[in-house]
Amino acid sequence: MSTVYHDTKIENAKVELDNVGVTYGSKTAVSGVALRIPDRSVTAFIGPSGCGKSTVLRTINRMNDTIDIARVSGSVKIDGEEINSKSVDPVVLRARVGMVFQKPNPFPKSIYDNVAYGPRIHGLASGKAELDAIVETSLKKAGLWNEVADRLDQPGTSLSGGQQQRLVIARAIAVSPEVILMDEPCSALDPIATAKIEELIDELRENYCIIIVTHSMAQAARVSQMTAFFHLGDLVEYGPTEAIFTNPRDQRTQDYITGRFG
């Protein structure tokens, strides 16, 4: 791999990736990825389809474990703790690292149950009142409380796409994660719903380390503070979003960002 343009000034990284590689069977999806992702900020992963950005994202909560043929190498640390070690239970890890997916995927249950599911299985609430409080704060943080407060018993799938995505974010928040991974969270939404989610992401930034994979460069530019550009399974460039979007160092980043990909 050639030089990676790195802004190395990040101290106290929340998530550290070092020489991370993922293979699916005999196919190498990504290799040699090294990143230091700051806390309380939004980091965007951009790149053309199949560049491995989602794969890298999924190493952070070990979602790749669920794919039989996927093999992860290298080191992924959260707060300095190696998460690929045997002593870390992926179930516990996923409570610390929430995830929001491309398509809004609320459970076909009530809005309340959607949010309460995580706290319930992790035993985070000792009683009904406490659970109610968690549900309420989560929905409030996700900016959805005012819209659904009077119909918590209705199915989550009855909400609009944007509301569903915010419900999914509330569900992720409910287990008090430290890191929230978002895999193209707005690709199925209209611009207004997208704007609401982006505003929400901006608010959540104050309390969480957010990593977002997006196909929309404009979105990456709007919501993120740091941007990493991936190409053909390599991390090409990583740095402050402003620098990436005005003055990318690598020709590939340049070509991708200006829309000149051949």
Partner 1 sequence: MTSADRQSAVQKRLLKRYRDEARFRAFGIAAIVFALAMLALLIGSIGSQAISAFTVNELTLRVELDAERVDPAGDRSPDSLRRGSYNGVLQDALRAEFPTVTEREDLRDLFGLYTPLVAARLLNQVADNPDLVGQTIDFTFPISDHADLYLKGQITGRESEVLAGGFTISRADGRATIISEAGVFAAVRDAVRADLDLRADAIEARAERYETRSEAAGDAARSEQSSQDAEAARQQAAALRALTRDDGGDLELTPQLPSRLVRIAGGFVSVDAISADGRSVSGRILVDGDADTAASAEVLTLSVPQADRRFSDAQIAWTEALQARGNVSEGFNTWLFTNADSREPELAGVLGAMIGTVLTIAVTMALAMPIGVFTAIYLEEFAPKNRLTDLIEVNINNLAAVPSIVFGLLGLAVFINTFGLPRSAPLVGGMVLALMTLPTIIISARAALKAVPPSIREAALGVGASKTQTVFHHVLPLSAPGILTGSIIGMAQAMGETAPLLMIGMVAFIADVPSLSLDGLTEPATVMPVQIFLWSDGAERAFEARTAAAIIVLLGLMITFNALAVFLRRRFETRW
Partner 2 sequence: MNTNTQTHTVKSFGEELDRLSDDVARMGGLVETLVSDCLQAVMRRDGELADSVIERDRQVDQMERDIEKRVIRLFALRQPMATDLRMTIAAYRISHELERVGDLAKNIARRCRVLNESEPHEMTRSVERMGRLVISQMHEVLNAFSAGSLDDAHSAMKTDDEIDEIYNSLFRELLTYMMEDARTISPSTQMLFVAKNLERIGDHNTNIAEMVHYVLTGEDWRRDRSMSDPDRES
Is 112 or 245 the residue whose CB approaches partner 1 more closely? 112
Q: Which does 217 bind (CB under 5 to 8 A by kind): partner 1, partner 2, none?
A: partner 2
Residues from 50 through 79 that contact partner 1 (CB under 8 A): 61, 63, 66, 68
Q: From the CB of 242, what's the least distance to partner 2, in Å?
A: 11
Question: Phi/psi zone of residue 46: left (φ > 0), alpha (ψ -120 to 50 degrees), beta?
Answer: beta
Which is nearest to 213 in space by CA: 68, 73, 16, 37? 37
Q: Which does 193 bind (CB under 5 to 8 A by kind): partner 1, partner 2, none?
A: none
Show the binding pattern over residues 197-236: x = contacts partner 2 (CB under 8 A), - = does not: --------------------xx--x---------------
Residues from 77 through 96 that contact partner 1 (CB under 8 A): 91-95
**Residues written for the chain:** 262
Which of 23, 24, 84, 103 binds partner 1 (CB under 8 A)? It is: 103
What is the C-alpha separation between 252 and 237, in angstroms, rounded? 9
Confirm or reject binding of residue 15 to partner 1 (CB under 8 A): no
Other C-beta atoms lying within 10 Å of the C-beta of residue 196? 18
Which of 28, 154, 160, 246 binds partner 2 (CB under 8 A)? It is: 246
Q: Characterize the bridge pairing of strands 209-213 and 179-183.
A: parallel
Is 233 or 248 the residue whose CB approaches partner 2 more closely? 248
Which residue type does 21 have?
G
Phi, psi of 112 (to 5 degrees): -60, -50
Residues from 42 through 81 that contact partner 2 (CB under 8 A): none
Q: Which residues neighbour 224 within 8 Å (Cβ) at sequence distance 6 or greater? A: 41, 42, 43, 44, 212, 241
Question: Can you give the binding site for partner 2, defined by CB under 8 A?
Answer: 217-218, 221, 245-248, 253-255, 257-262
